[in-house]
């Protein structure tokens, strides 16, 4: 079945917004105030192809990681990415009352998964106390992550909605 004419434009706009967000990772910013979670969530919200929901943000992030560098924690980051994309995919074209809980759930999930990775990879003793210490030490970074997730998700959604009103408008 052929896609509607605006579908190619829509995919282009969505990908462009995600790429621009990923490029913003290269600009100096406070620790953890980054678009990582927002890119995956945005993909889940608006990408219609079930495979691209996961592949597009992963590819974009890997591309930006070519410049920023990969580390052993990257596996956990990308794993969290899949979950966050799934969360977004459950709430296609969300309204504000769905966006806020999705951002919160995504931020918390990302925090839990990536800091578990820090603990597993040897950042802390392999004890319950070590795990608790790992999460406790990460809490100050969570504030910036949460603020970044709200900021970038909001900006990305706003850009997309504005593009729908102008660039993607049908006759």
Domain, as residue range, for 51: 5-165
The per-residue pLDDT for range 49-95, each reduced to its tens digit, is 888 889 888 888 888 888 888 888 989 999 999 999 999 999 887 88
Q: How far apart are CA 61 and CA 100, in angstroms?
A: 23
Long-range contacts of 107-113 (CB under 8 A, 24+ apart): 107/37, 107/142, 107/145, 107/146, 107/149, 109/80, 109/83, 109/84, 110/36, 110/37, 110/80, 110/83, 110/84, 110/145, 110/149, 111/138, 111/142, 111/145, 113/76, 113/79, 113/80, 113/83
pLDDT in tens for each of the 171 residues of the chain?
Answer: 455 555 678 888 998 999 899 888 888 888 889 898 999 999 999 998 888 889 888 888 888 888 888 888 989 999 999 999 999 999 887 888 899 999 999 999 999 999 999 999 987 999 999 999 999 999 999 999 999 999 999 999 999 999 988 876 654
Please give the model's pTM, rounded to 2 decimal places: 0.86
Domain membership of residue 47 (yes or no) is yes
Q: How many CB atoms lie within 10 A of CB 97?
A: 7
* pLDDT value of residue 1: 46
Domains in the chain: how many in total? 1
Domain membership of residue 171 (yes or no) is no
* pLDDT value of residue 133: 97
Cβ pair 98, 89 in contact under 8 A? no
């Amino acid at each position: 079945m052929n896609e509607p004419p605006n579908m190619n434009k829509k995919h282009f706009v969505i990908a462009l917004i995600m790429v621009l967000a990923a490029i913003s990772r290269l600009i100096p910013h406070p620790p953890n105030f980054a678009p990582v979670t927002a890119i995956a969530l945005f993909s889940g919200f608006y990408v219609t192809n079930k495979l691209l929901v996961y592949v597009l943000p992963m590819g974009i992030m890997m591309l930006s990681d070519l410049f920023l560098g990969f580390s052993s924690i990257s596996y956990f980051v990308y794993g969290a990415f899949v979950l966050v994309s799934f969360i977004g995919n459950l709430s296609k074209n969300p309204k504000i009352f769905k966006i806020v809980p999705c951002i919160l759930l995504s931020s918390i999930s990302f925090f839990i998964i990536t800091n578990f990775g820090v603990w597993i990879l040897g950042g802390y003793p392999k004890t319950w106390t070590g795990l608790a210490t790992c999460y406790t030490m990460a809490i100050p970074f969570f504030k910036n992550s949460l603020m970044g997730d709200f900021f970038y998700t909001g900006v990305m959604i706003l850009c997309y909605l504005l593009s729908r009103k102008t660039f993607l408008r049908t006759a």
